[in-house]
Amino acid sequence: MKEASRMISEIEAEVQLTRHYIGKSHLDPRVMDAMRRVPRDQFVPPESKSYAFYNGPVSIGYGQTISQPYIVALMTDLLNPRPDDVILEIGTGSCYQAAVLSLLVKKVYTVEIIPELAEEADDRLVRLGYSNVETRTGDGYYGWPEHAPYDGIIVTAAAPAIPDPLIDQLKANGRLVIPIGLPYQYQELMVVEKTEGGEIETRSVLGVAFVPLTGDLGVSRRRPHSSEPNRTH
């Protein structure tokens, strides 16, 4: 598809522009192939289909968006997904990120706090044949403990601090990719790694702008960041 090829080219161009921040000049070919294969136009409202492959966020209603393709690709790459991984996603939204992950891992569990979006996402996943993704309606702050621990966790909305339940549900040597910051203020995309001994290591990758994680944000303790934030512009 011409539009998908253009989207991939735009992602590759933005990777080059931000390579000094993200520490790489190209993303995992498996990730880029998944981005190419998932029909993004099936994950946006009918009135927004002409913008589906635009390298920017698109509104999906309820005050939520489908993330910019470059950010979806980057976050997926930072998660370092492997074929046998079980991944937790917080913030299903349109389920586009979950669909991309589904082509790269064994199983994706995804949590959405807005019931209407969760129902629409579940119907869409069934219709499009993404059979290794399971959705639920709930507060993503608490994760999905029944299926923990997870090889990786990805959060597609900004939290003021790293939610402790997500750290608890992450496997040793697993990764959590999450935007941290307050709404309408500077946010940073963080990679959180849990060592074999249970220690937490974090690094800032890029300045970002996400819709806020809603629900219970009463984080019991703030975990410190390991570095000063990097700015994209």
Q: DSSP for 39-89?
A: -GGGGS-GGGGGGTTSSS-EEEETTEEEPPHHHHHHHHHHH---TT-EEEE
Phi-psi region at 129: left, alpha or beta (left = phi > 0; alpha = psi -120 to 50): left
Residues in the chain: 233
Domain 2-208 homologous superfamily, CATH:
Vaccinia Virus protein VP39 (3.40.50.150)
| Cα 137 to chain centroid, rounded | 17
Q: What is the residue extent of each domain of the chain? A: 2-208
127 CB-contact burial (10 Å; exposed 0-12 / middle 13-18 / buried 19+): exposed
- What is the strand order of the sheet 150-155 is part of? 133-137, 107-112, 86-90, 150-155, 170-181, 187-194, 200-208
Question: Which residues are CB-neighbours of 9 under 8 A, at least 6 positions away?
Answer: none
Known catalytic residue at 226? no
- The DSSP code sequence of 120-132 is HHHHHHHHHT-TT
d(CA 223, CA 194): 13
State pLDDT tens for residues 128-183. Answer: 999 999 999 999 999 999 999 999 999 999 999 999 999 999 999 999 999 999 87
Q: Is the pTM for the entire model greater than 0.85?
A: yes
Pairing outcome for strands 150-155 and 170-181: parallel
Catalytic position from the list 9, 25, 48, 67:
67
Q: Walk along the chain (233 residues) and give the pLDDT tens digit of each residue.
A: 788 999 999 999 999 999 999 999 999 999 999 999 999 999 999 998 988 899 999 989 888 889 999 999 999 999 999 999 999 999 999 999 999 999 999 999 999 999 999 999 999 999 999 999 999 999 999 999 999 999 999 999 999 999 999 999 999 999 999 999 987 778 999 999 999 988 999 999 998 888 888 876 633 333 333 333 333 33
